[in-house]
A and B are shown apart, each in its own frame.
Chain A
Amino acid sequence: MKFQQIDQFAANLRADTRESVHSGSKAGHEKRTSVLFDHYADPNRLRQIAGEIKQHVVENLDTYLPAVEARLQANGVIVHWASTAEAANEAVYSILQARGAKKMVKAKTMVSEETELGHFLEKRGIECVETDLGEFIIQIDGDHPSHIVKPIIHKNRREIATSFERHGLGAYNDDPETITRRARAHLRHKYLEADVGLTGANFVVAESGRIVLVTNEGNSRFCLAATKCHIAMIGIEKILPRDRDLGLLLNLLARSGTGQQLTVYTEFIRGPKAAPQEDGPEETHVVFVDNGRSEVLASDCREILRCIRCGACLNVCPVYRQASGHAYRSVYPGPVGAVLSPLLAGKQFPELADLPKASSLCGACNEVCPVNIPIPDLLLRLREKGKREGSEAAAAATPPMGAWSVMATQPAAWKLAMFGGKIMNVLPAKYIPVPALQAWQAKRTLPAWRGGAFRSWLRTRAQPAADVRSAKSEG
């Protein structure tokens, strides 16, 4: 492979797509920064505390999982365990079958993207409607989300208006309010017709069994209000120990994700309706999804399981801003995806082992992450794993280091190379068949080679200090 695939993708990206992604993520980052730093004296301390809480959960999942199961069951929730994506989809399908359900409305959940639940159910004759506006547009376009919080960050409103027109949702009109009203009118009927509502969860509290959901459109609330059965598909890492941890985590999630102090809707779901409640689902199911997470837990990258899917690392990432989410060829793009996607790929790791390379290791992701995940360190560990496992995707366009390491461990050879490099001052770069040098020079000039000049200055100058000073005043 001659190129890094993500760089190629960026090179071929449409200019207006890049502009949408770039301006959307930049705006998201700026809002996040002001809402955190204007209100809190030391947001970084909050990120550390939140990180410690989530790390504690990750380290103690073996005790938290049975605890949360018991709590949920005590609340009347039926708990299912799914070790793979297929098992998770099957679990959902069997719940639908048992109820004779044909129609489902669903709120945005990344884990269902992971398992490709929508396709799975549609193949089995179930109508499965996305109710989050962004996800709805993705669905009618047959597209994929390119951001974990703003799935259509890569689209502009003209494209959306065209999609609506194509889908029979009214004549072309790119006014955002009109678009929203039309989606709303369309979706209202879907809620009323649906048998089952499916959501994800942002958090599940071990102490109380509370399922916590945040949205800005209220669509998850509709998914539950009109249906008789609620299914929550939840990654096993979503647990929080105590209800009072929510104060911190909900705050950081909203501020980091969308730059809000709190999301517009925050739901705390205890379970199926119980007297004296008149409305709400009669049945509540939780499908806990592993799908590779246990392996991540066993790896030296388990910190990534702290992730609360806020998307802040995508917004700040200069590589994501240039490449867009689809460049990452996986459900999770950006810095979090560059770590999580290859890990969740299991045996297919080598195919996605180029993702951790798509970073200048600038560390901005770590600086914004509300749970303080050391993403650059994890990227580095995965680069090492990619090299060790001989991934071609990872090796593409990467300068080989063998000769360099020989020179850099033998001072005599090093000095010779310092001298020999002078050839670059006389020979035009195009005649030097080193791919890295070619790639460098395609975009940039090289400064003059002055190998060894510092060492000879050191040698030839007289004694330090005093003499250097007098030499200077003469010059």
Chain B
Amino acid sequence: MLNHERPPITQRRVQLMATCLCDAFYDDVARATVEVLEHLGVEVEFPEGQTCCGQPAFNGGDWEASRKVVRHTVRTFSGDLPVVVPSGSCAAMLFHGAPLEFEKESDRASVEALGRRTWEVLDFIVNGLGITSWPGRYDAKVAFHRSCHSRGTGTGEAATRLLGSIAGLTVAPFGEGEQCCGFGGTFSVSFPTISSAMGGLKLDHIRAVAPDALVSADMSCLMHLGGLAEKEGKPIKVLHAVQVLRDALRQGGLI
């Protein structure tokens, strides 16, 4: 179980971990995160020295390399503000993965402390700030892919709750929603056959409900699924849930 105890949110100020994927490819997701948080009156700090959460090497088995990156992340996100991440996977790395690879390390406590104040952004909005419905408007039918690293966390429910409350928006359930999309980090390149076959099954289920967009809390899954779909010549529109929240505010004239 990935769920963890976190101190209650008392102040409206956070540190943003943009994630390496948003740094490299998905700037609008990071931007939407800032805009949504600021709309909620949350002040967002962006520690400039941030790079990656350390997950690629952790999953690949190179814990020595991974620990170096985690230590860098711990230093970069010093202080005691909540750390908000637009990725269930990077958040889980910090509150579950990193403590696992630091089990026998002397600086384990500082790693665990960072984990305790780390939140996936939708989880933060619903379970941290206590916001359970979303204003504005978004006219579309979307499919929501529950990314695997949010198993056992508040993210999946938070996302369906927020998305489901937006005027004009329907969330269309699709078959075998609990199954993995096949991304899996380095798995996607070391097991390309299996990874893409898993993605293909997921896309079949998603296409069966003909959504206007595929939405998730993890850009990594969406990069994989969107990339597969485009390679097949049948592209689908992919959006991070926080982009939908931001666009709903825009369409509702709220920002």
Contacts and interface: CB of A to CB of B under 8 A. Distances in A.
Interface residues of A, number: 70
A469 B254 CA distance: 8
Interface stretch (B60-68, B119-127, B163-171, B204-212): B60-68
B195 A443 contact: yes
Interface stretch (A162-170, A235-243, A306-314, A381-389): A381-389
Contacts of A6: 191, 194
B190 A405 contact: no
A398 B61 contact: yes
Contacts of B43: 464
Interface in A135-178: none
B227 A319 contact: no
A63 interface: no
A409 B53 CA distance: 10
A367 interface: yes
Given A398-B61, A454-B31, A10 B197 contact: yes
Given A6-B191, A363-B151, A398 B27 contact: no
Contacts of A414: 51
Contacts of A450: 24-27
A447 interface: yes
A367 B153 CA distance: 13
Contacts of A411: 48-51, 76
Interface in A364-389: 364, 367, 377, 380-381, 383-387
Nearest to A18: B197
Interface stretch (B108-116, B129-137, B177-185): B177-185
A398 B182 CA distance: 16
Given A7-B190, A404-B65, A318 B198 contact: yes
Interface string A385-424: 1110000001011110110110111010010001001000
Interface SS, A side:
helix
Contacts of A404: 52, 56-57, 65
B72 to A, nearest CB: 4
Given A387-B63, A404-B57, A468-B35, A360 B189 contact: no
Contact of B54 (A358, A367, A408, A447): A408
Interface string B1-20: 01000000000000000101
A377 B224 contact: no
B59 interface: yes
B156 to A, nearest CB: 12
